[in-house]
Structure 1
Amino acid sequence: MSAPLVDIRNVSHRFGQLAVLKNVSLAIEPGSYTILLGPSGSGKTTLLSILGGFVTPSEGKVFIRGADCTALPPAKRPTTTVFQDYALFPHMSVGGNVGFGLRMQGVDGATRATKAREALALVGLAAAFDKKPHQLSGGQRQRVALARALVIEPAVLLLDEPLGALDLKLRRQMQDELKAIQKRVGTAFIHVTHDQEEAMALADHCVVMNDGRIEDEGLPERVYARPATRFSATFMGESTILAGTVTEAKNGIVTAMTALGPISLPGASPAGATVALAIRPEHMVLGDAKSDVALGMAKVGDVVFQGSFKRVLATSALDPALQFIAKAPASAAVQAGDTIPVSCQAQDIILLAD
């Protein structure tokens, strides 16, 4: 097995007495699109800054291409960073902005211009070479920043919430473009965001962070379908969470006692263990259906039409503290005030250690 492109080993960091990263280890493969996903204060931006050389970790090491880069300044490591505010030079043309890194490397003017034009063509802005940044839209300026970062052919491209300043439609468009560009150039991208939809749209390697630690990592499909922790289940998409205690475990089936009664599901957990049962909204069935796990009756409190589905919040009749979150078909006749049965399939319940 080949060595990872980026190898973060036991990295911790403190700002004064505040620990913002706590013994983080992470391997990133060549050509991957890695998303660092987490809420504000989870440590994801600090980790990106350590990778870019803007922060030296209090403890631990960072290796890129097998070389120890822990103490190297940004200009001497094989990374470039795209910031949320783009950081373009307003007095320079777009071509000048894109070629700036090459200029700092001593590349001659003719070569700079050629490479800058190629990079702009890569991001769909071949005609913008002689324009000034203020003549471009937000999405176009984002693409210029991307071209400027890619033109120096870094081993790793770091993106710090690069789509945060864009409106929803443009953000979706840029997600598609970012993924397509990453596949064309083959550079490893490491992208920080707190947007779960963005993470699922872009990543082939999703890293969920919380309180300075990595909670979960892997393919986004796995992290969503079978999250490793309760935090991951609630941050990477929504879940209804049931607290339970295992009363029986045999032959790959666990039975847990919950406020809604006993629930049996596939899994492994010892008798007496405290567990959490997570159910994704799309697996929650409203109304009479032949699901194998009945969750009792619930009163619908809110129904929000969201285009392809209706997001339904309903309060359990058996446990008023429990709120079911469900995705119902857009054509469903459910409305606020209805009292309806709720159920799901046992195989769709996620068993988590609490």
Structure 2
Amino acid sequence: MSALVSIENITHSFGATRVLSDVSLAIAPASYTVLLGPSGSGKTTLLSILGGFLQPGQGRVLIKGEDCTAMAPAKRPTATVFQDYALFPHMSIGSNVGFGLRMKGVAKAERDSKARAMLDLVGLAQSFDKKPHQLSGGQRQRVALARALVVEPAVLLLDEPLGALDLKLRRQMQDELKAIQKRVGTAFVHVTHDQEEAMALADHVVVMNHGRIEDEGSPERVYGRPATRFTATFMGESTIIAGVSANGMIGTAVGDFAAPQVTTHVAIRPEHVSIGHDIAARAVDVVYQGSFKRVTAVLQSAPDITLLARLPADATTKPGDDLRLTIDAAHVIALKD
């Protein structure tokens, strides 16, 4: 399948500060792509270039095979949902949703009909005549989504759209966003720094750091077999342990593990550390997190090495307890150097 969006060798700077360095990315039709990374990683700048709000210093953006690099935002086949929703407070919800169609010269009867249909899609069919202040934050977010989708963009861009919502509403909106994207079949490109949000929504995760793409792929692959040390620590938690590799193995203070490439470090996810019999350790911190306990333990044989473990919620472990731990060797990640 050919790419819907091709970002080719994009480099961009603000003054003397380079924020993107030779970034290339392909986005498939009907996909949900999440750009994930810490503040300053370049993800929002890349989204702004894709939407036409910034002209890149170098490189180009192709959408449906057309070079859109110098095209104005209103002329390219994209629409953007911003974190602050940017709804017009004096307009009705119906007029807000139909605004983009109005700018395209669509007659009132047609744009009202399309706005009603789109509000029905996002579960707000009864809100056509209301004003934005009469809706909750989650409802206003759905209005912003409807306004962007009603113009039938090839690509919908979402700039941290759930950042202003509380945890319960954010999770509800994650489910709704994913369901709506599957129904409309539009390619979504979503920026966030929230790893949980990325894994909940994406079928294509792009991990960014210092203006470059560190890793990309399915959430399962990027989390389970991260390509870099940064990805292993940013996409969820990991304990990074040094070792010496030879003959397809790497020897560490917590055991010997398969290493398909020569490497000097492994990453161990906390869910792959359990109560067992192999490793003597002492708990130094225990945090109850509802469905599990997050335990930080130091090795008794090497107190400078700390392991993170995710133990059952009903585990009786407390700080100061001596433990015996086992690592699931099949899931230890040999990192590329």
Band of TM-score, shorter chain: over 0.9
The TM-score with structure 2 as length reference comes to 0.98
Q: Contact (CA 8 Å) 1:205, 1:218: kept in 2 or not?
A: yes
Candidates 251, 254, 258, aligned match of 2:249: 254
**1:188 & 1:321 partners in 2: Cα distance?**
46
On the 8 A contact 2:243/2:250 being kept in 1, the answer is: no
Deviations 1:301-325 (A, max 9, x none): 1111111111111122233232211
Once the 2 structures are TM-superposed, how far is the Cα of residue 45 of structure 1 from its aligned partner?
0.2
Residue 267 (structure 2) aligns with = 278
**2:250–2:259 Cα contact (<8 Å) kept:** no
Q: Is the 1:216–1:232 contact (alpha carbons within 8 Å) kept by the matching residues of 2?
A: yes
Distance in 1, Cα, partners of 2:306 & 2:108? 63
Residues 1-354 of structure 1 correspond to what in structure 2 (within 5 A)? 2-246=1-245, 248-249=246-247, 253-256=248-251, 258=252, 260=253, 263-270=255-262, 274-288=263-277, 294=278, 296-354=279-337
Q: CA deviation at 1:353?
A: 2.2
Over the matched positions of the two proteins, sequence identity in percent amounts to: 67
Are the counterparts in 2 of residues 5 and 28 from structure 1 also a CA contact under 8 Å? yes
Q: Distance in 1 between matches of 2:96 and 2:312?
A: 48
Report how far residue 130 of structure 1 moved: 0.3
Of 336-345 and 38-47, deviating more is 336-345
Shift of 1:3: 1.9
1:114 to partner: Cα distance: 0.2
**Match of 1:291?**
none
Distance in 1 (alpha carbons) for counterparts of 2:64 and 2:82 = 23
- Match of 2:176, SS state, is helix
Give me the whole-angstrom Cα distance separating, in 1, the residues matched to 2:224 and 2:208: 17
Map Cα deviations across residues 172-217 of structure 1 (whole Å, 9 max, x no partner): 0000000000000000000000000000100000000001000000
Residues paired across the two proteins, number? 337
**What is the Cα-based RMSD across aligned positions, in Å?**
1.1
Structure 2 residue runs of 5 or longer lacking an equivalent are none
Q: Structure 1 residue 286: deviation in Å?
A: 2.5
User: Unpaired segments of 5 or more residues in structure 1?
Assistant: 289-293
Contact 2:265 2:335 in 1 (8 A): yes
Equivalent residue letter for 1:211: H
Question: Structure 2 CA distance, aligned partners of 1:70 and 1:37?
Answer: 23
**2:249 is matched by which residue type in structure 1?**
V
Whether contact under 8 Å (1:298, 1:315) holds in the other structure is yes
User: Aligned AA for 1:282?
Assistant: E
TM-score (norm 1): 0.93
Is the CA contact (8 Å cut-off) linking 1:3 and 1:66 kept in structure 2? no
Q: How much does 1:43 deviate?
A: 0.3
Q: Name the SS of the counterpart of 1:353 in structure 2.
A: coil
Q: Structure 1 segments of 4 or more deviating over 6 A? A: none
Aligned residues of 1:80 and 1:154 also touching (Cα < 8 A) = yes
Cα shift readout 1:69-107 (whole Å, capped 9, x = no counterpart): 011110010000000000000010000000000000000
